[in-house]
Amino acid sequence: DTAVSQTPKYLVTQMGNDKSIKCEQNLGHDTMYWYKQDSKKFLKIMFSYNNKELIINETVPNRFSPKSPDKAHLNLHINSLELGDSAVYFCASSQEGRGFYNEQFFGPGTRLTVL
Amino acid sequence: TQLLEQSPQFLSIQEGENLTVYCNSSSVFSSLQWYRQEPGEGPVLLVTVVTGGEVKKLKRLTFQFGDARKDSSLHITAAQPGDTGLYLCAGEGYGQNFVFGPGTRLSVLP
């Protein structure tokens, strides 16, 4: 009964490859997010999706593309991986609406290593 | 761009000591949240503060939101080794602009 789950937990790949990370939430939340946490533990928002619409798109390279097949899923696809993409990627979800403050529930993270 | 700063960056204390960590910005936030992250896991929400001057208590943790809603503090009383972790503050600005601070890494030694 995990609230926010991500797969895989670890991903090791070569430079230039294309890879995807999957995220699912069973909380019934309206909004899902992708964050990147670098080696200094700085957590930076990459994307958020609300009702299958992109509402925040930070200045990330267009090699990164979020895909949301339905409200419970937000996958992250990365093309032409680069060394600098190595980081931990977190998926999160939150509920919008009156009385809610975008309190975020995070997944366990995917540690991506690009060789 | 709204930014959050946290201090100290690192803090190592003995079990039983008290501590305060700070989260500051020059911007106003509609709400501010504190999270704790343990190694190998995602951040876990501790509290949300919304009203300027608001104080919330969670057992030995006391959270305060500044009157102007630009800063916040987290005070831990009688710290325990289980309090060890990375403490992150996160603010929601107007227009759903959501930003995290760089974190305070706390180590409580037995």
pLDDT at B65: 96
Q: Which residues contact A36 (CB under 8 A, 6 or more apart)?
A: A43, A44, A46, A60, A87, A88, A89, A90
Which H or E run contains A50?
strand A43-50
Q: Chain A contacts of B35, Cβ < 8 Å?
A: 104
Give the model's pLDDT for residue B102: 93
Rounded-to-integer distance, Cα B21 and Cα B103, Å: 10
* Of A101 and B57, more confident: B57
Query: B42, A92: Cβ pair inside 8 Å?
Result: yes
Name the least confident of A23-32, B53-62, B92-101. B92-101
- What integer pLDDT is reported at residue B4 of this predicted model? 92
Selecting from B43, B48, B103 the residue whose C-beta is nearest the C-beta of A106 gives B43
Locus of tokens 């709204």: B2
